Structure 1
Amino acid sequence: MTHTTVPRTPAASRTGRDVRRPRVVGLLDAAVQRAPVVEVVAPAGAGKSTAVAQWAAGRPGVRVVDGGTPDLTASPRPAAGLLVVDDAHRAARADVAALVRDALTGRTGGVVLVGRADLLAETHRLRLTGDLAAVRAADLAFTAAEVRALAGAEVGPVGEEAAQRVVALTGGWPVAVRLALLAVAGDRDPSGALLRLGHDDLGADGYLLEQVLDRLDPRLRTFVLRATIDDVVDAPLAERLLDGGAALLDECVRLRLFLEPSGRARPVQRYRWNPVVAAGVRAIAGRREPATVAHLHRRAALHLARCAPDVAFEHALRAGDPALARDVLVQQWPDLVVAARAGAAAALAARLPAPADVDADVRLVRDVGAPARTARSALVELLVAPTRVVPPGTRGAARAALGAVGPGGPGPAATLLARYVLARSDPADPPADDAVTQTLWHVAAQAGAGGLPRLRAACLVEVALREVGTGPAEATVRAAAAAVDDVDDAGPLHVPLDLALGLHALWQLRTDRAGAHLRRAHDTRAAAGHADARRAAEVGLALLAALAHGVTPPAGDTVPPGPWAPVLALLRGALGAPDGARPPGARPDVVAPTTVGALLRDAVRAADAGRPAAAHELLEDAFEHAAPDETLLPLVPSSTPVRALLVAHLGWGTRHAPLVRRVLDVRGAGGPSRPVPALTAREGEVLVCLRAGMSSTEIAAALVLSVNTVKTHQRGLYRKLGVVDRREAVRQGLARGLLP
């Protein structure tokens, strides 16, 4: 593929005057003090040269040269100062490599490379070793305070709300900020004018056409004109919009062509266009090829229907295809309901033109998202709040409605949503009810086949909650977590999922991990729609605190009804809670935990009867039953004699010493953190990379490993630290002295 040099904004095209930006100057100061090599990398119009010029002004020992200078290595270089190469993307790669090598070996002072794309093949390695610091487009983007300072110099004072509006509209892209201010120059009320400003008012399309698009390789130019049809692009969408689009997207990323990563890779990385760039390029494409633009909107609608139905709906309408918009909505609206966005689905239904607006399926979408209506059918009553308990009468009437066929009956997608709500909403269904669980599995399979990933994830999360209430459920919990991880905007599903993950860890007495998940289930803003699950997480956290400090929980911490009740009641009983309805030592009526608990009680009786050999044989049998799934919660010592028996069991000799120690360590372990198992060399390297903010793909490149191998090391690292995500891993690494 031809590598294209993105054009630099000529100095003559800049508008207005420069203002001092102490924040950016401070970032550059910190970068050159931290590393011998600094990259200032951002696309056109990001103000790189201006920022570096401000920083270099008045600093002795700083020499600035242009990247287009022939034979850069022959230019005079400071022995101890800094060499700044502006427009470094214009320089020969060999010259850049030589400058970097001299800076790293100390032959010269440091080097600052200013350009539009990463110039160093070993960028990841240099970041890992601390020899490279970077200032990126996000660092150069204007803040609201900087917008106000620039506005004061250009158009007059503006308010904070107007400045925030400019940042939201432009993404802080410096050239777009200047265009926004230029658009309101001369207005008597610049603040009000900025608040009314839209992307189309900036006039960025002229700048983009002259300074960017017309200077690109023709095939890359075509790609940008097509791929900006949506604000977000990934390799599959790029390929659908243009043959070879995935490779062209990689080229845009390499050139940092107004793209930033959007979220994490799942399983492919998505990128978000700068909003001003996307709007400007769409305006250019609309003028040049309106028929092609409509075709691209239709392709985008078909591609995005499953992962982003509301966005796909918009594309269908822009393509002038209301029938496609109707199909997207009717087929995908249950996913919006599961994500707590029924109101958004109803708003989309209201935008459909006649006769689609009187379609029975469209009417159902509209009614479910309109809670103010007074007269609602049983089916609508069932679906308006899928996380609540539904009265038996409504359930019966809704079941009858599901049996209707013909024009008046619900469509396939609505039927699946209703079956899911019916299965999860009846409090009379016991958590281990096989029929309900089988229904949820069946609906999950049909939702997956029907392109409803959020509904599928919701079913699997509900199954996980039901199964984990009565014992560890490794496979089910993993399947639920993977399903939620695979969808964008999972919304409130994270609350019951974190609760399930926390309870699963609780069964295995992995208390650090259990606490992390239960805290997330309790604290997340989405928890408001899951009051019972949030209360269960709150009780679980209180019980964990009691367990860690070796105290009896207060009687007021009663377990809320739900599938989580058995495991939380079991923990309360193990802690000697005074309000337990079960006799001491009783366990929920389920096979594996009951067997483990019964064997423990038999072992205690044998020890009390003076039969130590029989007691230890029974206790070993209990650990044999507990070991496969690590069902350790029933073995938590509820009294001193039980603890003494467990301690003696270690001396007696057991094949399960690590599990016995975990059971003994869990109670009264609220003091200093227990030692972390030694990290492997690779796990230590991965932890350092996580602290540097590197993605799994970047870590793989830096360590010359596959992404899967990196993820294996991450899982081992998380397990040893007792954490569930990279942020917690870094925090624990710092707290435990594993990071400098």
Structure 2
Amino acid sequence: MEALTAGVSSRETTFMVVSAPAGYGKTCLLADWARGLTDEGVAVAWCDLDVDDRDPMVFWNSVLGSLRFAATDNDAAEFAVRSLEPGVDPLGHSEFFSRLAHAFELFGDKVVLVFDDTHLLEGSPSENEFLRLLRLVPPSVYVVFATRTSLLEQRTRLTNRVHELTADSLSFTRAEADALFGDDLDVDKLESLFVASEGWPAALSLARLGVDRSPSTLDAVISLFDSDVLHQYLQREVYADLSASDRATMHTLAVCPLITADLANAMSDGLDSANALRRLARNNPMLRRVSTDRSGRTWYRVQPLFGAFLREKVVELSPHALPRMIDRAARWHMEHADALVALQLALDAGDGDLVDTVLRRSGTELIGDGHASAIVALAASSSGRCLGGPFASLMLAWAAIAVGEVERAEDVAARVRPTGLGVDDLFEWDWLLYVVQVRIATARGERIDGLSSGWADSTMLTLPGCLRAAVHLARGLAETRIGITARATEELETSRAIAENLGDLSSQVMSAVGLAATALDRCDMRATLQHAEAAIDNASRSTTQDQSESLAYAHLLAAWSSHELLDDCAASSHAASAVDFAARQPLVDVQTQTKHAFQSIGFNGLPDKRRAAQDFTTAWPPPYLRGAPASAVVTSLHFGIRMSLTLGELRWSERLLDRARHLIGEGPDWHVAYALLLHATGRHSSARGILTPVLHASQGPRVLVSEIVAWSLESVLEHESGNAFRSHAAMNHALELADATGALAEVARPGADSVRAILARGLHRFGAHDEVAQQLMAHGRDVEPPTQGSSALTPKERELLAELKSLRTVGEISDDMLLSINTVKTHMRGIYRKLGVTSRRSAIAEAERLGLV
């Protein structure tokens, strides 16, 4: 109303076009607005146009009749209008326009001329008369016209005086739909109705009538639309205006709500669908141009309710045409556009053979592109018979694995049979079954050595490229999952090479993620970061594929490697991105793993450290460590111990070590973690007793992370014992391993302050590893709390500090430490002085804050 009224006060010649399909309330809007103007004393001439107005003489008589009605209270204007007669010859017609302009001036400051249904003039002689009127009216005339097409509006736009209201302006908003129905419709039904109608006023009004006629129990209402009324309305107001050729083009929209010219040609055997669609979109807003894809194809979208009407019309005109069109559309999408749309079409048609064909050809690509959830959802909403084909069943099992429904996948894989397949088809089916079995084993954390396709690996060369890449990728990820890094790297490199040749972006991304994981297992942090960043870069090139799972893993691996390389800013950023991408995909294990990484890297800054640590230690080991290599278990174990000790929860650390014994055994890795715990709690002698055999035994720690930690801890213990030479030698060994692997953060695990002191004392004597030493010395100084005099605590004072937290008396502590009571008290006074406190309770609190106990 405000947009319409703005033109009344304008001092320039302006036009307002209201352009929208049938049922958008154009006439209702203009009638209400004109009535309001009349009440305010504005002269309004309303001209209803019909087919007869295509004759110029009839058109001008309609215009003059509306002007005479508007001039009822203006004798001079009424007389001038009544004396007007349109001329037939050009000279007489020019005089008519001159006298018409004079009559307009007699109406006063402003006269409003409203035309309804001007689209009826299109292509007739009256259209030229109407356009001439628009060009010649004086500024005192405000012309408003309603049309179902945009042709007149496009021509008058050239005058730069046209304003417009479109279907978007006239559509109901969600709030307006709520107001229309009030409390008569529940929220879910109203939402479904609003989505189907897209705010189309006619559809919502018909639904409103359906509610009024329905019983009071709306839950029993099957449909709010009176289908007969809606059908008749669309037939009369929209479909009847289309030419035969335009109807043939529009019929293709009965199959696909989104269409392009190539697809329309494929379905209708047409050759000129591009021009037809362009014209229809311009003149009939029931069809809209929505986008242009990377191939240069222009896509158009039909209003959903009109699409349903067209489907009925196609069935009505030719019952056998619709299945044929669906088959053609599905095959075109499978070949040229969206395989997921092809699958949806095949399922809608109930064509099991077509579903099997689509999934056989495109299922691997769909699952790789992140559409596994969509496949599972489509399968749940369709007839079971449609997915009974041998290839369709296996692809459904594969999709179920991808969304975490392993039991469902196992059930499908156990029941599927290659019925009716020839030798070549059976060969491909066997390999597809093998991929599914490998994926199930990976999800279970099991080895795949006992699995076989029944065919030699050399036969894979005859497989379709995407399936061959999937076989190598599945094997590589399965072997990465259990730590067989050499074979995994070979399989993943092969998968990546095949994917690059095919242009298969999703397989390239996941292969890079797998290679990053194998590098992490080898403790090669620089290679891990390189592969992870390559995966992120490749995934970012896709705007249509859902790479959430791959990106979650890629950012997770980039976060760990950046953390180990002491790039805290990048590590935090990658960890946050990993959590974000994990939340967008359905696998709980991925979400849990990224959450733990985020908490580990940013533990000091967490708002609720205690809750995070308690949740972690209570549920440890998490499911993603099932069957995982020792390196992953050790890293997770150290994370848990660090959290527990930071919060002073010794029992949590002991619980973690007890559970870790069942995962990695009571071997060197376990003993290093135990020694780390003993040292952190002040039991230095016990820590040395555990660590020395591990370092000097013929077989050292299996995991490089443990070896770095072990040598760094040995250096700290020697430093605290006053043996500077041995401390320096051990630290040099730790730096050598850290420099070779990139796991720099592991050097500081026995205690950042102690390690920093050792590095400072031995700086410029570490040879080629001095640069690493300087990085470690600089790292964390700005973020870690100051330690006051904690670095000056003697070994006995540190051991006593751990005992102060217990409830034992000074006498009991002295007996346990084999010291006199006076000696214990002397040590306590030294602790208080160095920590800047005056009591036992304050000393414990300060020690906890500084991470000393």
TM-score range, shorter chain: 0.5 to 0.7
Question: Which residue, 447, 465, 469 being the options, matches 2:528?
Answer: 469
Amino acid at match of 1:141: S
Q: 1:159 to 1:536 in 2, by over 3 A?
A: closer
CA distance in 1, matches of 2:196, 2:287: 16
Seen in structure 2, the aligned counterparts of structure 1 residues 134 and 348 have a Cα distance that, compared at 3 Å, is same
**Selected match of 1:243 from 257, 271, 292:** 271
Cα pair 1:346 1:365 within 8 Å, conserved: no
Q: Which of the numbers 286, 293, 311 marks the counterpart of 1:282? A: 311
Q: Take 2:556 and 2:135, find their aligned partners in 1: how far apart are those partners?
A: 50
Change (3 A) 1:311 1:433: closer
AA paired with 1:207? Answer: Y
Give 1:295's aligned residue.
Answer: 324
Q: Compute the displacement of 1:334 (Å).
A: 3.3
Query: Does residue 456 of structure 2 align to residue 424 of structure 1?
Result: no
- Deviation track 1:474-518 (CA, whole Å, cap 9, x = no partner) reads 665433332x4244x666556446668989999998969984994
Which residue number corresponds to residue 524 of structure 2?
none
Check whether the contact 1:521–1:537 (CA below 8 A) recurs between aligned residues. yes
1:219 and 2:245 aligned: yes
SS at match of 1:469: helix
Counterpart Cα distance in 2 of 1:229 and 1:49: 32
Give the partner amino acid of 2:302: W
Instruction: Tell me how far apart the structure 2 counterparts of residues 503 and 81 of structure 1 sit (CA, whole Å).
Output: 74
CA separation in 2, counterparts of 1:27 and 1:504? 59
Which runs of structure 2 are paired with 1:717-728 in the superposition (5 Å)? none
Amino acid at match of 2:282: R
Q: Deviations for 1:208-230, whole angstroms, at most 9, x for unmatched residues?
A: 23222221344333211123321
Query: Which of the numbers 16, 24, 28 marks the counterpart of 1:50?
Result: 28
Residue number in structure 1 paired with 2:538: 479
Check conservation: 1:80, 1:109, Cα contact below 8 A.
yes
Partner in structure 1 of residue 285 of structure 2: 257
Decide which structure has greater helix share: 2
Counterpart in the other structure of 2:721? none
Counterpart of 1:626 in structure 2 is none
> Residue in 2 aligned with 1:352?
385
Distance 1:200 1:480, change over 3 A: farther
Question: Identity over aligned residues, as a percent?
Answer: 18
Contact kept, 8 Å, 1:117 with 1:254, in 2: the verdict is: yes
Residue 343 of structure 1 aligns to which amino acid in structure 2?
V
Whole-angstrom CA distance in 1 between matches of 2:600 and 2:3: 44
Is 1:340 aligned to residue 372 of structure 2?
Answer: yes
The structure whose Rg is larger is 2
Partner of 1:179: 206
- Residue pair 1:88, 1:114 contacting (<8 A) in 2 also: yes
CA contact (8 A) 1:382 1:398 kept: no
Aligned-residue offset at 1:300:
0.5
Distance in 1, Cα, partners of 2:764 & 2:457: 66
Q: In 2, are the aligned partners of 1:477 and 1:500 still within 8 Å (CA)?
A: no
1:149-173 CA-partner distances (Å, limit 9, x unpaired): 5457xxx944434333322332332
The CA distance in 1 between the partners of 2:116 and 2:518, in whole Å, is 61
- Matching residue's letter, 1:531: D
Is residue 472 of structure 2 the alignment partner of residue 439 of structure 1? no
Q: 1:334 to 1:472 in 2, by over 3 A?
A: closer
Question: Bigger shift: 413-422 or 378-387?
Answer: 378-387
Residue identity matched to 1:281: L
Paired amino acid for 2:274: A
TM-score normalized by the length of structure 2? 0.49
In the alignment, the residues of structure 2 paired with residue 375 and residue 162 of structure 1 have an alpha-carbon distance, to the nearest angstrom, of: 35
Letter in 2 for 1:210: R
Output the CA distance in 2 between the equivalents of 1:545 and 1:52.
Answer: 64
Given that 1:264 and 1:270 are in contact with CA atoms closer than 8 Å, whether structure 2 keeps it comes out as: yes
Spell out the pairing of 1:303-314 with structure 2 (5 A cutoff): 303-305=332-334, 308-309=338-339, 311-314=341-344
Give the distance between the partners of 1:365 and 1:80, measured in 2 at CA.
Answer: 70
Query: Deviation digits for residues 144-196 of structure 1, max 9, x if unmatched?
Result: 654455457xxx944434333322332332222233344565332472354x2
Contact preservation (8 Å) 1:472, 1:504: no
The residue aligned with 2:580 is: 522
- Aligned twin of 2:193: 166
Q: Is the 8 A contact 2:579 2:598 kept in 1?
A: no
* Partner secondary structure for residue 470 of structure 1: helix
Listed as ranges, the gaps of 5+ residues in structure 2 are 50-58, 64-96, 416-431, 520-526, 647-675, 677-704, 713-730, 745-755, 784-853
If the length of structure 1 is used for normalisation, what is the TM-score?
Answer: 0.55
Corresponding residue number in structure 1 for 2:236? 210
SS of the counterpart of 2:278? helix
Larger relative CO (CA 8 A, sep 6+): 1 or 2? 1
Aligned to 2:449: 396
Alpha-carbon distance between aligned partners in 1 of 2:141 and 2:567, rounded to the nearest angstrom: 55
Q: Distance in 1 between matches of 2:225 and 2:338?
A: 23
The 2-side partners of 1:278 and 1:42 are apart by 17
Deviations 1:534-557 (A, max 9, x none): 6437745885798999xxxx9999
Once the two structures are TM-superposed, the CA of residue 441 in structure 1 deviates from its matched residue by: 1.0
CA separation of 1:399/1:591 partners in 2, compared to 1, >3 Å: closer, same or farther?
A: farther
Which of 257, 281, 287 is 1:231 aligned to?
257
Q: Return the alpha-carbon distance in structure 2 between the equivalents of residues 334 and 399 of structure 1.
A: 19
**What letter corresponds to residue 238 of structure 1 in structure 2?**
A
Q: For residue 326 of structure 1, what is the amino acid of its counterpart?
A: D
CA pair 384-318 structure 1, distance change in 2 beyond 3 A: same
User: Is the 8 Å Cα contact of residues 232 and 273 (structure 1) preserved in structure 2?
Assistant: yes
The amino acid across from 2:477 in the alignment is R
Classify 1:294/1:94 alpha carbon distance in 2 versus 1 (closer, same or farther; 3 Å).
same
Are 1:464 and 1:477, in contact at CA under 8 Å, matched by a contact in 2?
Answer: no
Distance in 2 (CA, whole Å) between partners of 1:540 and 1:100 is 68
Equivalent of 1:141 in 171, 175, 189: 171
Contact persistence 1:61–1:82 (CA under 8 A): no
Structure 2 residue identity aligned to 1:142: F
Deviation at 1:588, TM superposition (A): 9.0
